Amino acid sequence: MTLFTSLIVAVLFGAGCFLLMKRDLLRVVAGTILVSNALNLFIISAGLSRGAVPILPFPDGELADPLVQAMVLTAIVITFGVAALLLSLVYRVYTSHLSLDLEDLAAAEEREAEDDDRPDPQADEDELWTTGEDER
């Protein structure tokens, strides 16, 4: 069972990571959800005991480890919060850029940086490392 569970976790995790690398933002979100699912499965499998439902009255024999269940419960809810936030971010990207393609977004970012006529912050940083004798 250990080996088998690990394989399932690995498949879900790998599929998630593959989606994370996509150009399409929605697929990236799907990737994070798959990765989270893989981790939830991992946590629940990490329980030290398997057995009956840990609800009173306890039956004879071993109980399922309640600690990992509490953790997975928390993780699922947080995953949902993150997923909802990510989806609304995607929506927001659509409203402001009319595209969900990361290449488009990177290009838009570069354009914005060029339009920005503020002085290059790099210049200020570079000067930090000179000795500065001249301006005493």
Partner 1 sequence: MTVTGDPAIVLLIWVLLAPLLALGAGVVRPRWAARGGVVGAAVAFLLAIRTVGGPASEIRLPWAPSWGIEATLRFDGLASLYALLATGIGLAVLIYASAYMPIHLHHEHKPERDGVRFWVLMTSFMAAMVWLAAAQDLLVLFVAWDVTAVASYFLIGFDSEKPAARRAALMALFVTGVSAIGILIGAVMLRTIYGSLEIGVLAERVQPSAWTTVALALIAIGALAKSAQVPFHFWLPRAMAAPTPVSSYLHSAAMVAAGVYLLARVYPLLAAAPDVREALVVIGFLSMMVGGLLALGADEFKRLLAYSTIAQYGYVVVMLGLGGKYGIAGSALYVLAHALGKCGLFLTAGAATEATGEKALSKVGGLGASQPVLAVASGLCAATLAAFPLTIGFFKDEVFFEAAHHQGRLVTALAVLAAASTFGYIARFWTGIFLGAPKQGAHALPRRLVLPILALGAIAVVGGVKVGPFAAIASAAGQASSPGLKPLTLAYHLEASPANLMAVAAWGLGIAVFLAARHGRAALDAFAALGKRFGPEHGYIRVLGGANRLSDVIHDFEVHDLRSRMAALLLPAGVLVALAVLATPNENAWSVGVMSMADLPLVLAMIAAAIVGLAATIPRDHLLIGLLLSGVGYSLTIVYALTGAPDVALVAVLVETLFSLLFIGMLAAMPPRLLDRAAGAVSTDIRRRRDVGIGVISGILGFVVCWGALSRPAAVESAAEEQIAMVKAAHAKDVVTAILADFRGLDTMGEITVIGIALIGLLALLRRRPAR
Residues 97-116 binding partner 1 (CB under 8 A) are 98-103, 105-106, 109
Looking at 60, 61, 70, 119, which residue binds partner 1 (CB under 8 A)?
70
Residues 38-67 that bind partner 1 (CB under 8 A): 38, 40-42, 44-56, 58, 63-67
The helix (H) or strand (E) run that includes residue 41 is helix 25-45
**Residue 119 or residue 130: which is nearer to partner 1 going by CB?**
130
Looking at 80, 116, 119, 121, which residue binds partner 1 (CB under 8 A)?
80
Question: Is there binding between residue 120 and partner 1 (CB under 8 A)?
Answer: no
CA distance 32 to 90: 13
Which structure tokens are listed for 68?
């990992």
* Residue environment code for 72-104, b if the CB has 16+ CB neighbours within 10 A, otherwise e: beebeeebeeeeeebeeebeebeeeeeebebee
State the minimum distance, in angstroms, from the CB of residue 117 to partner 1: 18
For residue 46, give Cα distances in angstroms to 1, 10, 50, 82: 12, 15, 10, 23
Looking at 60, 61, 82, 111, which residue binds partner 1 (CB under 8 A)?
82
